[in-house]
């Protein structure tokens, strides 16, 4: 292996200069001559029958080119696809029309589409379209949706139940019967709105001459979008090019195939002109997926010494009005498989009911299923500690999977790759000076000040793979990743990755990896992603998989390149390949270091091919499709310290410590950034962000005026540290680092707030912990 | 995000602005644009014409007029916040402006725009009530003065007529031993006031409360003075107990807004708490 120079270096992100000076190349920046603008008219009703649509006034407006209703599109577009067909769950996938026909099922459902010369005219035309609705009763709550007599969204989905998924491992009834302590709770994991800075959009350009469709769009996974666009438009995959180089954040919300992008593609083909569609922020709030939204009934069986002997969960997942692309997989596999967390709990019993309601569809949002599992477990562990009068630290220690038991086969069937959970806990305790902090807490309570200390010890599953597992889970795709490493005649290197980073910084970390592997300067490595015409089929960026899977693919391709280069060098140096050593970008004869040549010199010879033997092909590049043997399992301990003002219910953050273990770290600055951003989002779920619907299905938090994305001033300063337990799953020993912050932080904050309120006898408040909820809880106990 | 079409006029003088306003009855005056333009982008407002008054020279500026400080209607937040005169004499203005929106908002937003718009959650309405300001309006019949107490009439509604222009806001200089404070509970999403309380307290030589004015915003449909609190405290020794007792009255006789973030009951509670906090800080400063 080459001497490591860049692995572990906190190099500044090379994508940042262009992004922070406004030179990014986002979908809306692309201009093509003759482009028309598309706008979508959306339903103001959560549930209604469409009686009549009158587009006549809109059609005759100056600048309006065409108006389409759902009926007009039936022959032009297949329904929006669902691609995670969870087996053994009696899954029903109702028809999801890009533009509604007959019936609308949520506020934001598309009812008509305008194509116009400019966006202002399009907006005027939307207002000129008259739609007559016959409103129907709506249901937004997943438990109510299952009740007898609830409004039915689909004839083909009785009781609005899309699936019932089960994971029963071990005998929970026995565990429950034998338990010394039994704890039961109903927990809410409320709905969130991903709110990427760049809303979704597409510029679709169909060339009637060649029959080719090029579509720039906000995608986390361009090849998957190409495949699905091919399926819904009927154009062969080879005639579609998807480009998504700069994407302004996704958090999962840019994985699915959506109506908007599909319609733009179909209409460009219909009209033979480029069509641009860019969401407004208001549209983004109703028409891009939401996340989370569980009601969970949890039972914990334990012994008096704190040992947890079983967990039973009955979860009701709100899927919204239609099944989004990956929706069925999120509250099932990505949730249920992680219910034992970092603990040696032997029995897991989980039932998940996926329910359709008159709300925006839900799908993967950063953490996707794992935050719901982690919050549940970490909250229950704290409640159990309270019940047993144990310190929250001690109960966690008691239950941790010991470090000598890895690889650990969890009752859910997952095999945890590597771990040392206590190490992260110990380091975090040291950083907050735990004993001292507890003293301070006691003193301040005397003065009527309420400080709380909250823990979250977690493990998560990421680096989503392998393909066999994907197949067993009903995911309609593989979970490998592709890479091409191309060394040019000058020795400069272009690498093509099937990952599609959109904020995660892999243009930098991948260049670090490749530069190290090939012994070339960092500056000489160019990373290409996000264009299906340039990159081999790739699975994309989500599930904290790009570095662990995509990075591994690159390293494997580099090793193929090196192997070939070594053979060429050996030939030119007139020795056997095994007598050639590669170090720091240079091949030389074993024992004779001055007889050698650089990889750049080898590359030139590879392309000149004047002196190559017949059995070596000219050129120097390699392709690798990497399918790992397992996922990776990052873990850690987060500790949050808050002060609660019982008079107003306001929470102030005093400290936040995160000690994560993501295996080896390629670029600590980038990992810190990922952790910071993740904590911000998870912490926001605890105290700020929530999607609120009224009983009629109107989204009340439908703008940034009502949906509280935290500003820097609303967050504490994070102290981030790490332990390093490499994974054996990939050659770099790296685990995913994109979601740990979000997964870990919500319960840390909630546990801190509840700890602060302990003197009031408060055991639990459902999230979000808004000031009013906290104030009410205090008021109730003080009465 | 895409307003409907409108005509844009730029007025060079107050006279011209008024003339344009008379000729275009449904037109809107444009000052800092930071309430009006967002409303137009969402098509909550679709005025056929805008009359930009932000560059009328006589409408902007801060003037010392002996016993009063007069601030022109189109004076930007940021200019008020930086004014040494205002900082010394009316420190509650910069204190409140500090917590309005962000830097861009404060660079563009104007005091007149904020008051004329009368957003129920805006900050400055509480402050002008507590300071006992007078507002000058210019219309077809000339100029008239409206006391702050009579200015806020309802949700987004003021005593201004549709064809009147707010030209300036005049503040009496407070006597010695006056302290003032604005305390805000901000909505975490919008940053606007869930409840904002402004208190201006003058202490007599005996240390008792000689005069007090309290304004509350955010809580109800429009900003209001809390005379019941003022009366309870006037003439009293300003002890913590007296402040607490007076503040308990702050929510009486008010109507409260209710939204997803704060119910009416909670707003009533916050009104009492923030009036108490504003009074406490103001009295501390008056003693200072
Ligand atoms: C992101 C953001 C955050 C904000 N946060 C806050 C906050 O925390 N607290 C707060 O108080 N405000 C906040 N605001 C609102 C801001 O203070 C506005 O600038 C202010 O309310 C309106 O002032 P303007 O000069 O921008 O008025 P404009 O938007 O130009 O006008 C507002 C209305 O007043 C009328 N008008 C303006 N000037 C006059 C005049 N001289 N005579 C008669 N009518 C007139 C206009 O016709 C219009 O109807 C925020 C705004 C934004 C965009």
ipTM (interface pTM) = 0.96
Instruction: Give the burial string for A180-207 (b: 16+ CB within 10 Å, else e).
Output: ebebebebebbbbbbbbebbbbbbbbbe
Q: Do both A622 and A647 map to the same domain?
A: no
Nearest 5°: the CA angle A397, A399, A400 is 70
Q: What is the pLDDT of residues A725-745, one digit of tens each?
A: 999 999 999 999 999 999 999
CATH 3.30.465.10 is the classification of domain B63-172: yes
pTM strictly above 0.90: yes
User: 3-state class of A469 per DSSP?
Assistant: helix
| Cβ-based neighbours of A529, under 8 Å, separated by 6 or more | A245, A496, A497, A498, A499, A500, A501, A506, A507, A535, A538
Q: Do both A311 and A387 map to the same domain?
A: yes
Q: Is residue A179 in a domain?
A: no
Rounded Cα distance between A623 and A564, Å, is 12
Contact A264, A276 (CB under 8 A): yes
Residue with tokens 């007598």: A579
User: 3-state class of A158 per DSSP?
Assistant: helix
Element (H, E) at B21: helix B14-23
| Strand runs labelled E in chain B | 7-10, 28-30, 49-52, 62-65, 68-72, 134-139, 142-147, 152-154, 157-158, 165-172, 178-186, 193-203, 209-217, 224-225
Per-residue pLDDT for chain B (288 aa), expressed as one digit of tens each? 899 999 999 999 999 999 999 999 899 999 999 999 999 999 999 999 999 999 999 999 999 999 999 999 999 999 999 999 999 999 999 999 999 999 999 999 999 999 999 999 999 999 999 999 999 999 999 999 999 999 999 999 999 999 999 999 999 999 999 999 999 999 999 999 999 999 999 999 999 999 999 999 999 999 999 999 999 999 999 999 999 999 999 999 999 999 999 999 999 999 999 999 999 999 999 998
A 615-674: CB under 8 A from B: 647-648, 650
Q: Is residue A132 in a domain?
A: yes
Contact A354, A165 (CB under 8 A): yes
Would you state the pLDDT for residue B282?
98
Min Cα distance B262 → chain A (Å) is: 6
Contact A341, A377 (CB under 8 A): yes
Q: DSSP letter at B110?
A: B
Contact A709 B266 (CB under 8 A): no
Rounded Cα distance between A73 and A431, Å, is 59
Element (H, E) at A405: none
Q: Is residue A22 in a domain?
A: no
Distances (CA, A) of B114 to A352, A704, B33: 51, 20, 10
Would you state the pLDDT for residue A4?
55
Q: Do both A224 and A326 map to the same domain?
A: no
Q: Do both A212 and A229 map to the same domain?
A: yes
Rounded Cα distance between B59 and B18, Å, is 13
- CB-nearest to A772 from B1, B192, B266 is B266
User: 3-state class of A209 per DSSP?
Assistant: coil
Residue with tokens 């429950």: A176
Contact A369, A333 (CB under 8 A): yes
| Cβ-based neighbours of A712, under 8 Å, separated by 6 or more | none
Q: Do both A346 and A315 map to the same domain?
A: yes
Q: Is B40 on the interface with A (CB under 8 A)?
A: no
Residue that is last in its domain, among A600, A626, A652: A626
Q: Do both A315 and A420 map to the same domain?
A: yes
Structural domain span for residue A422:
291-401+408-464+630-782
Q: Give the CATH number, domain containing residue A701.
A: 3.30.365.10
Would you state the pLDDT for residue A1?
39
Pairs across A and B, CB distance < 8 A? 56
- CB-nearest to A775 from B259, B260, B266 is B266
Q: Is residue A181 in a domain?
A: no
Q: Which residue of B has its CA nearest to A123?
A: B2
Which CATH architecture best describes the domain B178-287?
2-Layer Sandwich (3.30)
Element (H, E) at A762: none
Total domains, chain A: 3
| Cβ-based neighbours of B7, under 8 Å, separated by 6 or more | B24, B48, B49, B50
Q: DSSP letter at B255?
A: -
First vs last Cα of chain A: how many Å apart?
69
Q: Is B44 on the interface with A (CB under 8 A)?
A: no
Instruction: Look at ligand 1, atom 46, and give the residue with the nearest C-alpha.
Output: B29
Q: Give the CATH number, domain containing residue A239.
A: 3.90.1170.50
Element (H, E) at A272: none
Rounded Cα distance between A314 and A307, Å, is 22
Q: Is the peptide bond between A407 and the residue preceding it cis, with omega within 30 degrees of 0?
A: yes
Would you state the pLDDT for residue A783?
74
Which residues of chain A, if any, have pLDDT below 50? 1-3
Q: Is residue A171 in a domain?
A: no
Q: CB of B191 closer than 6 A to ligand 1?
A: yes
Q: Which residue of B has its CA nearest to A646?
A: B273
Q: At what angle do helices A392-399 and A370-388 cross, to 10 degrees?
A: 120
Q: Is B260 on the interface with A (CB under 8 A)?
A: yes
Contact B261 A704 (CB under 8 A): no
Would you state the pLDDT for residue A463?
87
Q: Is residue A184 in a domain?
A: no
CATH class of B7-51: alpha beta
Rounded Cα distance between A125 and A109, Å, is 18
Q: At what angle do helices A370-388 and A740-756 cross, to 10 degrees?
A: 30
Pairing verdict, β A621-626 and A481-487? antiparallel
Contact A479, A462 (CB under 8 A): no
Q: Do both A685 and A722 map to the same domain?
A: yes
Rounded Cα distance between B246 and B234, Å, is 10
User: 3-state class of B38 per DSSP?
Assistant: helix
Q: Which residue of A has its CA nearest to B193?
A: A705
Residue limits of CATH 3.30.390.50 in chain B: 178-287
Residue with tokens 């005996």: B206
Q: Do both A592 and A728 map to the same domain?
A: no
Contact B189 A770 (CB under 8 A): no
Q: Is B187 on the interface with A (CB under 8 A)?
A: yes
Residue A367: which of A359, A358, A376 has the closest Cα? A376
Pairing verdict, β A525-528 and A493-497? parallel
Residue with tokens 């005025």: B47
Q: CB of B118 closer than 6 A to ligand 1?
A: no
Q: Do both A420 and A455 map to the same domain?
A: yes
Q: Where are the alpha helices (DSSP H) in B98-226?
A: 103-108, 111-117, 124-131, 148-151
Q: Is residue A185 in a domain?
A: no
Would you state the pLDDT for residue A3?
44
- DSSP letter string, A564-617: HHHHHHHHHHTS-GGGEEEETTEEEETTEEEEEEEHHHHHHHHHH-SS--TTS-
Q: CB of B274 closer than 6 A to ligand 1?
A: no
Q: CB of B120 closer than 6 A to ligand 1?
A: no
What sign results for the dihedral spanned by CA atoms A729, A733, A737, A741? Answer: positive
User: 3-state class of B278 per DSSP?
Assistant: helix
User: 3-state class of B161 per DSSP?
Assistant: coil
Contact A120 B4 (CB under 8 A): yes
Residue limits of CATH 3.30.43.10 in chain B: 7-51
Residue that is last in its domain, among A239, A257, A278: A278
Tell me how long chain A is: 783
Residue A698: which of A244, A82, A285, A91 has the closest Cα? A285
Q: Is A701 on the interface with B (CB under 8 A)?
A: yes
Residue A642: which of A557, A577, A590, A714 has the closest Cα? A714
Q: Do both A373 and A261 map to the same domain?
A: no
Residue that is last in its domain, among A602, A626, A650: A626
Q: Is residue A761 in a domain?
A: yes
Residue limits of CATH 3.30.465.10 in chain B: 63-172
A 25-54: CB under 8 A from B: none
Please, what is the average pLDDT of chain A? Answer: 97
Q: Do both A455 and A348 map to the same domain?
A: yes
User: Tokens for A129?
Assistant: 């379209």
């Amino acid at each position: 292996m080459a001497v490591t120079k860049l692995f572990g270096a906190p190099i500044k992100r090379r994508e940042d200069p262009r992004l922070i000076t406004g030179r990014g190349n986002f979908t809306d920046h692309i201009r093509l001559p003759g482009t028309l603008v598309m706008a979508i008219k959306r339903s103001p009703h959560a549930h209604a029958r469409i009686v009549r649509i009158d587009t006549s006034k809109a059609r005759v407006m100056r600048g309006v080119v065409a108006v389409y209703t759902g009926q007009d599109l039936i022959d032009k577009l297949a329904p929006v696809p669902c691609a995670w067909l969870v087996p053994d769950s009696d899954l029903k996938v109702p028809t999801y029309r890009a533009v509604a026909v007959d019936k609308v099922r949520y506020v934001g459902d598309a009812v008509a589409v305008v194509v116009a010369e400019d966006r202002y005219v399009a907006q005027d035309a939307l207002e000129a379209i008259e739609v007559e609705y016959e409103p129907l009763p709506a249901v937004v709550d997943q438990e109510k949706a299952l009740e007898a007599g609830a409004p039915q969204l689909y004839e083909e989905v009785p009781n609005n139940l899309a699936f019932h998924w089960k994971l029963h491992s071990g005998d929970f009834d026995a565990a429950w019967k034998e338990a010394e302590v039994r704890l039961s709770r109903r927990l809410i994991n409320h709905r969130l709105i991903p709110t990427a800075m760049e809303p979704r959009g597409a510029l679709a350009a169909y060339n009637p001459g060649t029959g080719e469709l090029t579509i720039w769009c906000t995608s986390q996974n361009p090849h998957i979008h190409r495949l699905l666009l091919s399926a819904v438009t009927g154009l062969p995959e080879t005639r579609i090019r998807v480009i998504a180089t700069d994407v302004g954040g996704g958090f999962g919300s840019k994985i699915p195939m959506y109506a908007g992008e599909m319609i733009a593609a179909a209409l460009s083909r219909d009209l033979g002109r480029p069509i641009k569609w860019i969401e407004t922020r208001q549209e983004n709030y109703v028409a891009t997926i939401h996340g989370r939204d569980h009601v969970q009934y949890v039972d914990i069986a334990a012994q008096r010494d704190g040992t947890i002997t079983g967990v039973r969960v009955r979860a009701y997942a709100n899927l919204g009005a239609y099944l989004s692309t990956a929706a069925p997989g999120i509250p099932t596999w990505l949730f249920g498989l992680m219910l034992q967390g970092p603990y040696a709990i032997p029995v897991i019993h989980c039932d998940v009911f996926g329910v359709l309601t008159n709300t925006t569809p839900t799908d993967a949002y950063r953490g996707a299923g794992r935050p719901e599992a982690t919050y549940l477990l970490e909250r229950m562990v704290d409640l159990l500690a309270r019940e047993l009068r144990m310190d929250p630290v001690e109960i966690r220690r008691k239950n941790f999977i010991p470090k000598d038991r890895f690889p650990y086969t969890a009752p859910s069937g997952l095999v945890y790759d590597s771990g040392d959970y206590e190490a992260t806990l110990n380091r975090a305790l040291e950083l907050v000076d735990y004993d001292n902090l507890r003293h301070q807490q006691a003193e301040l309570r005397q003065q009527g000040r309420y400080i709380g200390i909250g823990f979250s010890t977690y493990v998560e599953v990421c680096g989503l793979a392998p393909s066999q597992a994907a197949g067993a889970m009903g995911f309609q795709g593989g979970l490998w990743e592709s890479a091409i490493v191309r060394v040019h005649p000058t020795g400069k290197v272009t690498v093509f990755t099937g990952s599609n980073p959109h904020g995660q910084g892999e243009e930098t970390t991948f260049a670090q990896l490749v530069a190290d592997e090939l012994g070339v300067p960092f500056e000489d490595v160019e990373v290409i992603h996000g264009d299906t015409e340039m990159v081999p089929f790739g699975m994309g960026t989500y599930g904290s998989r790009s570095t662990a899977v995509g990075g591994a693919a690159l390293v494997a391709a580099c090793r193929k390149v090196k192997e070939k280069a070594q053979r060429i060098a050996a030939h030119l140096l007139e020795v056997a390949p095994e007598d050639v050593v590669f170090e720091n970008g240079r091949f030389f004869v074993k024992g004779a270091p001055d007889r050698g040549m650089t990889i750049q010199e080898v590359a030139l010879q590879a392309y000149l091919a004047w002196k190559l033997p017949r059995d070596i092909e000219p050129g120097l590049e390699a392709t690798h499709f990497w399918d790992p043997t397992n996922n990776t399992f990052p873990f850690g301990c987060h500790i949050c310290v808050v002060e609660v003002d019982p008079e107003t219910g306001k929470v102030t953050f005093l400290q936040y410590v995160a000690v994560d273990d993501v295996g080896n770290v390629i670029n600590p600055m980038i990992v810190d950034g990922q952790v910071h951003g993740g904590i911000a989002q998870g912490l926001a779920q605890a105290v700020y962000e929530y999607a609120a619907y009224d009983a009629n299905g109107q989204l009340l938090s439908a703008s940034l005026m009502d949906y509280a994305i935290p500003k820097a001033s609303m967050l504490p300063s994070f102290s981030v540290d790490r332990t390093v337990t490499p994974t054996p799953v990939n050659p770099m020993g790296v685990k995913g680092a994109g979601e740990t912050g979000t997964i870990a932080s919500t319960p840390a904050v909630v546990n801190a707030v509840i700890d602060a309120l302990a003197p009031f006898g408060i055991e639990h408040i459902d999230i979000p912990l808004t000031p009013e909820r906290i104030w009410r809880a205090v008021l109730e106990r003080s009465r | 995000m895409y307003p409907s079409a409108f005509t844009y006029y730029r007025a060079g003088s107050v006279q011209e602005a008024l003339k344009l306003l008379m000729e275009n009855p449904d037109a809107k005056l444009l000052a800092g644009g930071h309430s009006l333009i967002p409303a137009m982008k969402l098509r909550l407002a679709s005025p056929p014409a805008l009359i930009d008054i932000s560059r009328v020279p006589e409408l902007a500026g801060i003037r010392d007029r002996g016993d009063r400080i007069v601030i022109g209607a189109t004076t930007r937040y940021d200019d008020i916040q930086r004014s040494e005169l205002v900082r010394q004499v009316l420190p509650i203005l910069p204190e409140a402006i500090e917590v309005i929106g962000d830097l861009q908002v404060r660079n563009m937003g104007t005091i007149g725009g904020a008051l004329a718009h009368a957003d129920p959650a805006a900050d400055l309405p509480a402050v002008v009530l507590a300071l006992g300001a007078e507002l000058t309006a210019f219309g077809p019949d000339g100029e008239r003065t409206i006391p702050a107490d009579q200015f806020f009439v309802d949700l987004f509604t003021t005593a201004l007529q549709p064809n009147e222009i707010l030209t300036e806001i005049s503040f009496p200089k407070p006597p010695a031993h006056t302290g003032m404070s604005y305390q805000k509970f901000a909505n975490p999403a919008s940053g606007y006031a869930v409840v904002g309380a402004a208190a201006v307290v003058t202490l007599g030589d005996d240390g008792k409360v000689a005069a007090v004015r309290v304004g509350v915003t955010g809580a109800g449909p429009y900003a209001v003075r809390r005379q019941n609190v003022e009366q309870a405290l006037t003439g009293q020794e300003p002890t913590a107990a007296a402040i607490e007792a007076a503040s308990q009255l702050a929510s009486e006789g008010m109507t409260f807004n209710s939204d997803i973030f704060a119910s009416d009951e909670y707003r009533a509670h916050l009104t009492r708490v923030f009036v108490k906090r504003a009074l406490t800080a103001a009295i501390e400063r008056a003693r200072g």
